[in-house]
Structure 1
């Protein structure tokens, strides 16, 4: 299982609406995400900055599968009114993941 972090930014003034949209994400989106191998996705917000923690088998494969899925395409189009986009990291998985620095549970005493 892979765990990775992503960073995106909201369009100014859309913070409340974004949270309202995530009060209950479309069940059909969750179904296609699970089918793509994503087992969990959490989002935290600080001002306009969003920090995502994704758990999946293979993020690159999941992104490739979701790219052509009509449910995900509809969701991405819908959410584009709130989100400026994901931060780019040319060294990250699928060009989006944040650079991993440290995990307490992985450190040996």
Structure 2
């Protein structure tokens, strides 16, 4: 199993943040299925202020490229992503078209 951490910002508007969180109380079943089909074993999202932090636990055969291709071919995922982009904004360091950015691990207690 592998773990990845990613970050993204929300639009700084309390009403939009509340709506975003409401959507995530029970995401669409097609989105849950697409996540699991990509061999994501667990996914958590945390928020502080406008910053989102996602933890992905994935199988050893997981691929970001394969997940992106699967998402691009899934109209319901594209609908979800378009909807979510109303609430999200790219991090200042993001390149055009980038959303969730992969974070670098800088410390691991187990390795000490």
TM-score normalized by the length of structure 2: 0.79
- Which range moved further: 60-69 or 48-57? 60-69
Query: Does structure 1 retain, via aligned residues, the 8 Å contact 2:4–2:56?
Result: yes
Q: Relative to structure 1, is the Cα distance of residues 63 and 55 closer, same or farther in structure 2, using a 3 angstrom cutoff?
A: farther
> Alignment partner for residue 35 of structure 1, among 7, 32, 37?
37
Q: Is 1:5 equivalent to 2:5 in the alignment?
A: yes
Report the equivalent of 1:92.
none
Report the equivalent of 1:77.
82
Q: Give the match's secondary structure for 1:100.
A: coil
Distance across 2 between alignment mates of 1:16 and 1:64: 30
* C-alpha RMSD of matched pairs (Å): 2.0
Aligned pairs for 1:61-76 within 5 A: 61-76=66-81
Structure 1 stretches of 5 or more lacking a match? 90-94
Distance across 1 between alignment mates of 2:94 and 2:69: 17
Q: Give the match's secondary structure for 2:25.
A: coil
Number of corresponding residues:
102
Deviation sequence 1:38-91 (CA, Å, 0-9, x none): 1111001000000000112324122332222112111101101100136648xx
Runs of 4+ in structure 1 over 6 Å off: none
Report the equivalent of 1:51.
53
Query: Does structure 2 retain, via aligned residues, the 8 Å contact 1:7–1:49?
Result: yes
Q: Relative to structure 1, is the Cα distance of residues 70 and 35 closer, same or farther in structure 2, using a 3 angstrom cutoff?
A: same
